[in-house]
């Protein structure tokens, strides 16, 4: 279960990186498209079909952010219940809370762009929390194995 926990924690971190890459990829594609004469209005924004290929970045960002990452975070929290790693539940809970904040900030950013800036900042916190959780898994692993052994020698 320790490996599962560790892998899930790393997955969250990787997903946050994917999110950052996807959104900039799409944003750059949009800029290039406008540069070449494309016009963006709400009708284009709401059209499912992409006027520029990089729009897929926005879709990835949305699906990843609202579905995939919350699911991984949830699985991370569940896996933390079953590991003996000290502080695992706390670290996983922190990840879950930051994911919830991140989704809220992302949606609120559509309304208040300054909140969108916090979405960018919180992404760094979430990335750090995920890596922190993963590192706990690595460091504490040895303790979890050695502790019962030392008890046995005393007994």
Partner 1 sequence: MNGAHRRGARIRLAIAGAATIALLGPLTWFWYDSLMPESYSVMDMGYADYGGAAPHHGAHHMPGGRSVTALTADPDRTADVAVNLIARKQRFRLPTGRSVDGYTLNGTSPGPVIHATAGQLVQVTLVNESVPDGITLHWHGLDVPNAMDGVAGVTQDAVGVGKSFTYRFVADQVGTFWYHSHQVSHEQVRRGLLGALVVAPASGPRPGTVDVVALLHLYGGARTVNGREGDVRVQARPGERVRVRVVNTENGQTPVWVGGSPFRLVAVDGTDLHEPAPVRDTAVLLTAGGRADLEVTMPADGSAVRVHIGGPGGVVLGSRTYDAPAVRRPTKTLDLLAYGRPAPLGFDPEAASRRFDYDIGRRPGFLDGRPGIWWTVNGHMFPDVPMFVVAEGDVVRMRVSNNSGETHPMHLHGHHAVVLSRDGVRATGSPWWVDSLEVGNGETYEIAFVADNPGVWMDHCHNLPHAAEGLVAHLMYEGVTTPFTVGGTADNEPE
Contact residues: partner 1, CB under 8 A: 37, 39, 41-52, 66-67, 70-71, 74, 77-78, 81-82, 84, 103, 107-108, 110-111, 148, 151-152, 155
Helix 69-82 to helix 2-35 angle (10° resolution) is 170
CA–CA dist 1, 145 (Å, integer): 13
CA dist 18 to 31, 54, 148, Å? 20, 14, 39
Q: How far is the CB of 63 from partner 1 (least distance, A)?
A: 10
Residue 16 CB, nearest approach to partner 1 (Å): 19
| CA-to-CA dists, residue 81 to 21, 41, 69, 71, 77, angstroms | 32, 48, 19, 16, 7
Q: Using the minimum distance from each CB to partner 1, give the nearer residue, 54 or 131.
A: 54
Nearer to partner 1 by C-beta: 42 or 142?
A: 42
Instruction: Identify which of residues 101 and 131 has a Cβ nearer to partner 1 in the complex.
Output: 101
């Amino acid at each position: 279960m320790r490996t599962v926990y560790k892998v899930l924690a790393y997955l969250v971190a990787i997903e946050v990186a994917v999110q950052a890459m996807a959104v900039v990829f799409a944003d750059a594609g949009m800029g290039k498209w406008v540069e070449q004469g494309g016009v963006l209005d709400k009708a284009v924004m709401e059209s499912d079909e992409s006027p520029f290929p990089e729009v897929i970045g926005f879709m990835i960002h949305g699906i990843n952010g609202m579905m995939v990452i919350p699911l991984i975070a949830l699985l991370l929290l569940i896996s933390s219940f079953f590991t003996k790693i000290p502080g695992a539940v706390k670290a996983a809970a922190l990840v879950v809370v930051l994911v919830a904040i991140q989704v809220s900030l992302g949606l609120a950013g559509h309304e208040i762009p300054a909140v969108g800036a916090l979405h960018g900042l919180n992404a760094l916190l979430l990335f750090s929390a995920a890596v922190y959780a993963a590192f706990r898994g690595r460091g504490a692993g040895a303790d979890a194995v050695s502790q019962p052994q030392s008890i046995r020698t005393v007994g």
